[in-house]
Structure 1
Amino acid sequence: MHILVINSGSSSLKYQLFAMPAEQPLCSGLIERIGTEDSVIRHKILTGQSPQTIERKESIVDHAAGLQQMLNLLSDSDVGVIRSRDEITAIGHRVVHGGEYFANATLITPTVKETIKSLFSLAPLHNPINYECIEMAEKTFPNAKQIAVFDTAFHQTMPEYAFRYALPDALYRDESIRAYGFHGTSHKYVSQKAISWLNKPDASLISIHLGNGCSITAIQGGKSIDTSMGFGPLSGLVMGSRSGDIDPSVIFHLLANGYSSDEVSNLLNKQSGMQGLTGFSDMRDIGKAVNSGSAAAALACEIYAYRVRKYIGAYAAILNRLDALIFTAGVGENDSSMRQRICSNLDFLNIHLDPQKNSALSGEIRAIHTDDSPVRILVIPTNEELEIANQSFALLHND
């Protein structure tokens, strides 16, 4: 069967079409800067002897227009990979927030849609767009099954003592204020890969997702038991433009000194993290600044790595055993110098990185620990779209 995966962001639309159960990608695409006059479409055809890429700029006013462009490319007479939209059996949607309602991939029904709407306030930048794309996909592909895979679902196995905040009980019971965690689809995908590689179903793992957004998750036997992101995606590690953990007193101080709540939110989400420390949010730019002798960039990298090491220590304590560290996402997969910084001075946890292996660039799963390291260190490329396709196929197959 053909399963189309739609991963919609606030101003972007990412998609992949898979032939399942072979897990064969037929095409993939990314539409960026939706809502502007200089939107960018990058569409890659993966069938045939060599990949073919189409890239163009044009005005895409909203996600509906983006979905139409995607459909046009999928079924184009020259470069299309389907003849009819009815060839698509199911569409798997990434939905950011599922609250406490969803712990698995879910067939979308009117009731499910109403529940997603009820969670708009918990993910105001993402759930409304996810919902909009579901409605548009229902109209565009009326014969396809629509399936939701939630970022928060993987973390629903966290025990209550891990996800509850020390706040008045009514705030949890009535306002649903608790830690939910995010990047769950990525953490699940790479942890399952690690479990298979280790051949150890009960493995104790720490999965480190380092992209523009960053999170770290403690995983025992394939289940999340704690994670760094909480009620929203702001807490935990230092990120591209998000602050990560700060003392809440900083917020009160800013509010008392003339900042509005919107200004504080914008500051912590868009002007902080590596952006605030260096003027850059992209680690490639920061790496160039370090190599050029920037003391601010070098300090920012130490802050970034130090925060990850703190969480590694904390999660090793709650796991009470550590079989492997996993690095994934853009920075985790590609920045060998940051992996080196993070893994330094962790000898007491029996974590020993091999510098030569760390610098190697090839391999689907790269083992970068020394031969005598009790704890494995793995670099595993994440593939959220494939994970969504797999979960969607499993749901339909079991159904």
Structure 2
Amino acid sequence: MAVTLSGNVAKRNVLVVNAGSSSLKLGVLGPDDTVLAARHVERWDADTGPLRDFLAAAPAVDAVGHRVVHGGAATSALLIDDHVRADLERLTSLAPLHQPRALAGIDAVGEVLPGVRQVACFDTAFHATMPPHATTYALPSQWRQKWDLRRYGFHGLSHAYASRRAVELAGAPDARVVSCHLGAGASLAAIHKGRSVDTTMGFTPLAGLVMATRSGDVDPGLLVWLLRAGLSLDELEDGLEHHSGLAGLSGTGDMRDVRRAAEAGDERAMLALRVYVHRLCQAIAAMAASLGGIDVLVFTGGVGEHDAELRTEVGARLAFLGAMDVFVVEAREDLEIAGRTRAVLDFEECS
């Protein structure tokens, strides 16, 4: 395993680490963003073995970029040190499925590559450009001030890449874009001139659209009622995070299985699809309203990229919004992370 530590980072290889709620994606991207090596570990137990095995056969790396779901108030990627890591750990309660996994990835790399600088690239940072009226909850001011309650937004790395690529394909730099990241987690973003204007997720990644196992938006009064009815906080959190969404409606969180079951006449699956599409179209129209119109609609993520029937139905239902370009863009968070990692370290070297 070779490691190089000097020279202009923009000209060298970046190891991209994307630790999901259960999986680990690794990739080494060269200076021209060519993928030199890649591995997807389906079940990762936070041990260093898969990382060591991958790096043993991969090209030398000069820097490491991590996808981190929650960056709090950070507006850009940050070079990781003890202080930054401690700040990220304090945000764990806001993204309990993902934040501990990102921290485990950071720690694993620190053990295996102790001399290589690491950069945290935040999903929340892209949405730091949202205006106050889009981020502010109508809650008591003392609550908002004490706990910094606000809408953060997520999937920013994916939305940034997909929207930029869609604008390139449309040849319209001033286009008003609604980006649809549809996967196990799902969110929309309203984007104009590369800046996030609005999004569907909020204080946590639980808000917004119906997802694989997450509920999306739910009447807060209903949640209070469930607690008063005897549900514990742990039961409520587990149900909303792991047993809701498509899984709660149909018995499975995999859209492919839901669609197959619906085609076979399963009533629960048919309802799940109707709910999913209803909420999705409703939210796209809301994002268009935040932009004052829509010029480009882009789909990305596993469901967004591969479910043509879904895209066709959404397009038909949104015809009232007028003409728009529709694109499918492969999710490439790795490119976004590599680029931001190089930018941070080049800045550090020039400072």
- Give the TM-score normalised by structure 1: 0.81
Are 2:73 and 1:92 equivalent residues in the alignment?
Answer: no
Greater RCO, CA 8 A, separation 6+: 2
Q: Greater share of helix residues, 1 or 2? A: 2
One of 377, 384, 387 as aligned partner of 2:336: 387
Deviations 1:36-59 (Å, cap 9, x if unpaired)?
Answer: xxxxxxxxxxxxxxxxxxxxxxxx
Measure, in 2, the Cα distance between the counterparts of 1:231 and 1:165. 9
Compute the displacement of 1:16 (Å): 0.7
Match of 2:105? Answer: 133
Q: Which moved more, 1:89-98 or 1:198-207?
A: 198-207
One of 228, 250, 258 as aligned partner of 1:256: 228
Cα pair 2:39 2:54 within 8 Å, conserved = no
What count of residue pairs does the alignment treat as equivalent? 337
Long gaps (5+) in structure 1 = 35-61, 351-373
Larger Rg: 1
**Aligned 1:24-43 pairs, distance under 5 A:** 24-34=34-44
Cα pair 2:208 2:216 within 8 Å, conserved = yes
Deviations 1:219-254 (Å, cap 9, x if unpaired)?
Answer: 111111111010111111111111111111211221
Over the aligned positions, Cα root-mean-square deviation in angstroms equals: 1.5
**Aligned 1:238-387 pairs, distance under 5 A:** 238-350=210-322, 374-387=323-336
Match of 1:69? Answer: 50
Compute the displacement of 1:267 (Å): 1.3
Measure, in 2, the Cα distance between the counterparts of 1:197 and 1:398. 30
Cα pair 2:135 2:152 within 8 Å, conserved = yes
Deviations 1:323-346 (Å, cap 9, x if unpaired)?
Answer: 100111000000011112222232
The amino acid of 1:377's aligned partner reads: V
Deviations 1:258-303 (Å, cap 9, x if unpaired)?
Answer: 2111111111111111111111110111111111112221221111
Measure, in 2, the Cα distance between the counterparts of 1:289 and 1:136. 40
The amino acid of 2:329's aligned partner reads: I
- Give the TM-score normalised by structure 2: 0.92
Measure, in 2, the Cα distance between the counterparts of 1:292 and 1:121. 40
Long gaps (5+) in structure 2 = 1-11
Match of 2:160? Answer: 188
Compute the displacement of 1:394 (Å): 2.5
Compute the displacement of 1:146 (Å): 0.7
Cα pair 2:158 2:332 within 8 Å, conserved = yes
Are 2:342 and 1:397 equivalent residues in the alignment?
Answer: no
